[in-house]
Amino acid sequence: MGHTYQAVQWNPQKKRYDQLVVGGVLLYLAVFMAVSAAVFPEATLETLLIRGLGTAALVLLHIILSIGPLARRDPRWLPLLYNRRHLGVTMATVAFLHGAFSTLQFHAFGDVNPIVSLFTSNTRVDSIAQFPFQPLGACALVIVVLMAATSHDFWLRNLSAPVWKALHMLVYVAYALILLHVALGSLQTESGTVTPAALGLGAVWLGALHLRAARAEGARDREEEVREAAAAEGWMDACGVDEIPEGRAKVVVAAGDRVAIFRSEGHLSALSSVCQHQNGPLGEGRVVDGLVVCPWHGFQYRPRCGTSPEPFDERVPTFRVRVEDGRVLLDPRPLPLGTETDPVPVSSAGSSPA
Ligand code: HEM
Ligand code: FES
């Protein structure tokens, strides 16, 4: 244990945020219990409190599991990400109160130890309608309390990042256990269909959010791979195919030169962006009738070899391009003047250099 414990560093923002979270939970409990009392007049105060705390923990868990993928997509969610641990501790506390009150209510008045009773009083594992749903909640509770107890950086450093991360990935196991706890529990209690329905919607929401985030991450990883492989061969990642409008160019700086990558009739060609006439910005020109036209005085160049049409004899260097996974790769080494290169189709994913 090489690291010493440092108390949580509070700052005014964190304090305000915590007050908001606690206030939000209390408000939720008050509204939930008032509405439930009106809908289920026969329900006791204890039952209302147990249900209120259980659903509050569930709502907090959904918020916690949504923050990561949302923040990856939109940085405006980042403040919530920085405070996610506080939300986690709040959720574990609320879940603990729910579990403790339930254990008291249903297991404390017999002659068996309440914890033993919680795990042994119902053994109908062969029946979906009678399934022992409470032990599922208890296992989930152990996980969320363990996570809250180890959420401080002190544990992150002492357990090492991979162990800590693995432990905290257990939140998905806890989530699955809670899904079963609530779904199976709803078959045995008269708490209505709203909670199971909301649970289903919540699962669809979280599933879709995580799938989208995973896809975006996969695409980013592939782009990174393309970039690294290209760099290893001396090629550079110039831009995305979609960044080049038809008939126009994207100008990039390659090895100190300005290079214009033109798109014409679905094909790409790269030539120096410096016009041979008076160094005009060729890359700001257009492709007209298959020829690149300089915007300053109209000099023309053939995209495939960089030479001007007869009777002119200006020549600009050309460069090799290729397309991989929607990215345009450029070899920043200019080809000898007048070298012919076949324009590369924009859809030529994975094609080799022309
Ligand atoms: C020792 C642990 C636990 C025990 C003994 C326990 C027990 C119970 C019981 C008896 C009910 C039925 C209440 C009723 O409708 O009358 C219930 C429902 C519920 N529990 Fe738990 N639970 C535990 C852990 C958890 C955890 C960790 C969560 C979530 C974070 C959770 C969320 C819920 C929810 C959302 C309901 C449904 C409430 C409703 O239908 O309105 N429980 N639990
Ligand atoms: S600078 Fe290009 S045509 Fe004059």
Which CATH number do you get for residue 280? 2.102.10.10
Q: Are residues 57 and 145 in the same domain?
A: yes
Residues 112 and 200 in one domain: yes
Residue 104 structural domain: 12-224
β partners of residue 259: 252, 272
Q: Are residues 181 and 253 in the same domain?
A: no
Which three-class secondary structure string do you get for 75-108? HHHHHHHHCHHHHHHHHHHHHHHHHHHHHHHHHC
* CA–CA dist 87, 161 (Å, integer): 20
Of 108, 127, 128, 130, nearest to 118 (Cα)?
108
User: Is 298 among the domain residues?
Assistant: yes
Question: Are 133 and 188 a contacting pair, CB within 8 Å?
Answer: yes
Q: Is 183 within a domain?
A: yes
pLDDT score for 11: 64
**Does residue 231 form part of some domain?**
no
- Give the torsion through C-alpha atoms of 252, 256, 258, 259, to 10 deg: -70
Query: To the nearest whole number, what is the mean pLDDT of the chain?
Result: 88
End position of a domain, from candidates 224, 254, 273: 224
Residues in the chain, how many? 354
- Residues 205, 135 share a domain: yes
> CA distances (Å), 177 to each of 138, 166, 173, 220, 297, in order?
9, 17, 6, 32, 72
**How much is the pLDDT for 65?**
93
Please name the residue that has the structure tokens 């014409």. 264
User: Can you give the pLDDT at residue 52?
Assistant: 97
Residue 326 forms part of a structural domain: yes
Handedness of CA 178, 22, 208, 81 (dihedral sign): negative
What letter would DSSP give residue 253? E
Instruction: Write the Ramachandran bin of 194: left for phi over 0, alpha for psi from -120 to 50, otherwise beta.
Output: alpha
pLDDT digits (tens, 9 = 90+) for 260-305: 999 999 999 999 999 998 888 999 999 999 999 999 999 999 999 9
Q: How many CB atoms lie within 10 A of CB 260?
A: 26
Q: Are residues 187 and 64 in the same domain?
A: yes
| Residue where a domain terminates, one of 193, 224, 255 | 224
Statement to judge: residues 243 and 217 lie in one domain: no
**What pLDDT was estimated at residue 113?**
93
Start-to-end Cα distance in the chain: 58
Are residues 298 and 152 located together in one domain of the fold?
no
Specify if 2 maps to a domain.
no
Cβ atoms of residues 253 and 236 within 8 Å: no
The verdict on 215 and 262 lying in the same domain is no
Are residue 291 and residue 162 in the same domain, yes or no? no
Q: Is the peptide bond before 69 cis (omega within 30 degrees of 0)?
A: no
The answer to whether the beta carbons of residues 36 and 51 sit under 8 Å apart is yes
Q: Angle 289-291-297 (CA atoms, 0-180°, nearest 5)?
A: 110
Same domain assignment for residues 170 and 94: yes
Q: Are 197 and 270 within one domain?
A: no
Same domain, 183 and 98: yes
In a domain, 251, yes or no: yes
Answer whether residue 141 is part of any domain: yes
For 17-47, the pLDDT digits (tens) are 889 999 999 999 999 999 999 999 999 999 9
Ligand 2 atom closest to residue 294's alpha carbon, by position in its atom list: 2
C-alpha 51 – ligand 1 centre gap (Å): 7
What pLDDT is stored for residue 9 in this prediction? 53
Nearest ligand (C-alpha, residue 135): 1
Among 224, 250, 276, identify where a domain stops.
224
Yes or no: say if 294 and 272 are a contact pair by the CB < 8 Å rule.
no
Going by alpha carbons, the residue nearest to atom 25 of ligand 1 is 137
What parts of the chain have a pLDDT lower than 50? 1-2, 349-354
In a domain, 4, yes or no: no
**Residue 4: what pLDDT?**
54
Task: Check pocket membership of 89 for ligand 2, CB cut-off 6 A.
Answer: no
pLDDT of residue 255: 73
Is the CB of 154 inside a 6 Å radius of any atom of ligand 2?
A: no
Token pair 């798109």 is found at 263
pLDDT at residue number 10: 55
pLDDT score at 204: 95
The protein residue with its alpha carbon nearest to ligand 2, atom 3, reads 297
Alpha carbon nearest to ligand 1 atom 27, residue: 141
pLDDT at 2: 44
Please report which helix (H) or strand (E) contains residue 257, including its range.
strand 257-264
| 298: its two tokens | 């109209």
Listed residue (313, 294, 316) closest to 305, CA to CA:
316
Atom of ligand 1 nearest to the CA of 186: 40
Q: How many domains does the chain divide into?
A: 2
* Nearest Cα residue to atom 39 of ligand 1: 51
